[in-house]
Chain A
């Protein structure tokens, strides 16, 4: 080549450099112009072992955070279903009262309930059915004929029309003094409190996991910076701003965080799918009802999958931001 080309980087000193380095092979230039350099590599040196360890930690933390969030979502959903079911139902309990005919009171209460606006369906339990309800507590095969067993009427409420419970209660008191309307408010409150407590515990665990992960990332960043001290010095000397250096570390850790986050989130989704499949077997075993009552069918639902994806991305962002913050603090302490 071509001494004809001008070396733009040195402005007007092209020929000076050519003269100075006259012994070198100028033909190499034209050859190399045709070579496309490899993709821009990260400036933070890759440390395969430390990176793998950090990805593993992030994956485990993401897995735990996703499990916690998923469990909270499931418990919350099941609790909401419970409360909806219970709140759509009321019961009238007709107690045997001295001087009153319980069957007559039962009929009056049933008729009143049917005529009440907001009641979609009324089902009266027979004496035998009412006695059967006591079996879990008293055992089977007992003669309960002599006992004053209360009778039950179950009211299925209309979804569209609200029921005036206070008026129904007052009417019952007038027509059948032994009848008590139970709107299950106490149960609903207890269920609500229980599910809120579980969700709160899950949220606390979730944030503890995230804090632990941020600390792990901070330590890893400090380690990476200690191992990259020479790189940072060189970057400073060649004119890199702190923000540029911090961005390099942030990008490095963001990618590690994304990798760990995706692995952890996928593992959590897999765990939920596996639990859902296994739950069909559990249902047949002792305790299956309780598990189903607490977690439903272990189905995560769209909200669960979306939240798991959000956690994976949030973990990556948290990892990047944590490392950036650590790097900035470190760089400000230098020089």
Chain B
């Protein structure tokens, strides 16, 4: 599904912030991406999402060489990936419903064709009563759940979540982790970037990708 081969990244003429990354993310796998703050977890997720180009090495995404992809091909691949950003990245002028429906809307689908799906998903992440609220009046946890719902609405093959439990209380964090695990069991590959050891300890069976000093250490 995702394969990195000796990937390195540097910004401008600076030192390499990520070096010699060689790993793969298999279909239906579950992994935590961890490491200290500033280790490059978000950067690695952006490389997977193809919003950054590596300065060396090869990346293959869904069997395609990332270096040779046209823009429309990148867009097509992104439609197979769900992303939960650390800072949510909800659009402030759209309601919760509209934010969650956004990935379907940009595919050109008619609103009537996905309305029921979005409303149902909002209900199941506990935002049924907040569907008309703008992000500015949502709590951190509500924003987090809206961001997760937006990532899930397209039934992604790969889910990338950047600190998805960073803004929620432990109880909701546990529920969200359960949600990710269920998604994984239903066939979605999940990558959760977190430095929350407590969260990772709740699922010992997960593979751990640990970033440190720009290098990646894998613990299966």
Contacts and interface: CB of A to CB of B under 8 A. Distances in A.
Given A41-B98, A234-B91, A244-B106, A20 B179 contact: yes
B55 to A, nearest CB: 15
B89 A237 contact: yes
A238 B120 contact: no
A37 B115 contact: yes
Contacts of B125: 21, 24
B73 to A, nearest CB: 11
A45 interface: yes
A29 B49 contact: no
B119 A33 contact: yes
B91 A18 contact: no
Interface string A34-46: 0101101101011
B177 to A, nearest CB: 9
Contact of A239 (B107, B115, B119): B107
B213 interface: no
A20 B179 CA distance: 5
B170 interface: no
A160 interface: no
A335 B69 CA distance: 12
B117 A7 contact: yes
Chain A interface helix/strand/loop/mixed: helix
13 contacts: A9-B152, A11-B155, A18-B124, A20-B182, A21-B126, A24-B125, A32-B123, A233-B51, A239-B78, A239-B154, A241-B106, A242-B71, A244-B108
A26 B124 CA distance: 6
A33 B124 CA distance: 13
B119 A20 contact: no
B124 A24 contact: yes
Nearest to B160: A237
Interface string A221-256: 000000000110111111111101000000000000
Contact of B89 (A11, A43, A230): A230
A212 to B, nearest CB: 30
Contacts of B126: 21, 23-25, 28
Given A10-B155, A25-B128, A237-B51, A43 B186 contact: no
A269 to B, nearest CB: 35
A10 B115 CA distance: 14
B154 A32 contact: no
B102 to A, nearest CB: 5
Contacts of B123: 24-26, 28-29, 32
A12 interface: yes
A8 interface: yes
Contacts of B79: 239
Given A8-B120, A28-B128, A32-B128, A237 B78 contact: yes
B56 interface: no
Contact of B124 (A29, A38, A43): A29
B47 to A, nearest CB: 12
The interface centre, meaning the residue of A28, A35, A231 with most chain B CB atoms within 10 A of its CB, is A28
Interface in A192-242: 230-231, 233-242
Contacts of A17: 124, 179, 182-183
Given A29-B128, A40-B111, 12 more contacts: A7-B117, A10-B155, A17-B182, A21-B124, A22-B175, A24-B126, A29-B123, A38-B132, A234-B89, A236-B75, A237-B51, A238-B103
Interface string B151-179: 01111000000000000000100010011
Interface string B62-82: 000000000110111011000
B88 to A, nearest CB: 10
Contacts of A35: 119, 131-132
A294 B154 CA distance: 67
Contacts of A22: 175
A115 interface: no
Contact of B75 (A40, A43, A240): A240
Nearest to B107: A239
B178 A19 contact: yes
Interface string B105-149: 111100100111111111111101101100000000000000000
A76 to B, nearest CB: 47
A13 interface: yes
Contacts of A23: 126, 171, 175
B117 A9 contact: yes
Contacts of B49: 237
A33 B116 contact: yes
A16 B91 contact: no
B92 interface: yes
A41 B175 contact: no
B78 A9 contact: no
A143 interface: no
A25 B145 CA distance: 14
A146 interface: no
A29 B182 contact: no
B94 interface: yes
